[in-house]
Every structure is written in structure tokens, then in C-alpha cells.
Structure 1
Amino acid sequence: MNRSNVQAALDDEGVQSLADECHAAMRKFADALGARDFILAAVQRAETEGECSLARVTSHLTQQLAGFVLAARDVEDYNAAFAQWLATDGNELGEVRPPPINFQ
């Protein structure tokens, strides 16, 4: 990632406005999900695997929760590294690994 490209995008009002809209839409989507949605997805996954027991549903929910926690940690680590990069004079982001979340 080139620093001048990043700073130009961060400073552009149109880009910032669209990013704010994306952020709001993502939050709205996340807020629309309820516990029932996660339970239904876990039941469907357990049924697909041919073992629909409460233990298997619980296992799927536990895996989902662990995935969310790890993804949040990756994003926090990336944000910290990104802030540190912005505060330095280096032009290339280098070894900072982006979070494994596809925003495309």
C-alpha cells in the first residue's frame, strides 16, 4: 500500500462519505442479525452434516463465536499496525498483514 495513495483517499471527502455509508450499512446489517439467525444457521449446518444434536448445534455456535473473536482481534491488530505505519515516514506498508475480511 502506498502512503500517498492512502493519505489521498483518507483526505478525500467523497471517499470518506462513501466509507461512512459503507460502515453504516455494515452496522445495520449486523444489527439486523439476531440470536435466532445464528441458531438456525447452526441447526442447518448440523442437519447438512447428518448429525442434528444439541451438542453439534452448540459446537457450531462455539466455532462461529471463536471465528468472530479471532476476526475482531485481527482487525484490531491491523488497525494498530496501520496507525503505526501512518505515524512513520515509510512509504510502503510492508509486513503488516491485512485482516482476513473481504471488503470487496
Structure 2
Amino acid sequence: MLEELARREATVRQRIEEIREQITALTSRLEDEQDRLSRLTITRETVEEILGEAAGPVGEPVETAEIAGVGAAGAAPRTSICGRCASSSRRITPARTRPQEHPQLRAIAAESSSEP
């Protein structure tokens, strides 16, 4: 009887250790996903800001968006609407405009990736 109790106790201890290992692995995965969500949120907010600026009146200069911690000091102001947007009578919103379809957004992304 005592041997059976000892065997069951050892089995439960082993399961506890396995669960602790799973918790450690899941905690690491959770932190990774939280970091990924944070980066995606920042990216979405930046895109919304850029597209929001692009929806302003034609020819009105707008401030350069800060991208990845790079300040706008000394940067030339950008035109607020590209040719594609200026020819459209609708306001551009992030839900209706994909970045690959927006030339100004592509140009800004290209500039920011080539900066030191």
C-alpha cells in the first residue's frame, strides 16, 4: 500500500514538473506575442498618421512623421496629398487604402529605410 502511494506521489510530482515547464514555455511565447502586438500597433498607428496626413488639402505641407525614433528635425515638409489621392474626391482612410496602393506611403517608407 505504501509503495503504491509513493508511486502515485512520484507520478504527480512528474506531472507538476511537466506543467511548470509548459508554463515557462507559454510565458515566453506570451511575451513574444505581446512584443509582436506592440510593434504591429505602433506600425498601424504610424500608417494611420501618414494616411491621415495624406488626406489633408492639396498642397498643404505636413510635418514629417517620426519613424522608429528618427526625429523630423531638419527634414523638408512633405506634400500632404499625392497625385493619386488628389485626383480622388473621397477622403483616404486606412481601412480603404492599402499601403502598396499609395505611392506617397511607399516613398516615405523607402526614404526611412535608406536613412542611416
So what's the TM-score if we normalise by structure 2? Answer: 0.35
User: Highest relative contact order (Cα 8 Å, sep 6+), 1 or 2?
Assistant: 1
So what's the TM-score if we normalise by structure 1? Answer: 0.38
Q: Which has the higher helix share?
A: 1
Q: Which has the larger radius of gyration?
A: 2
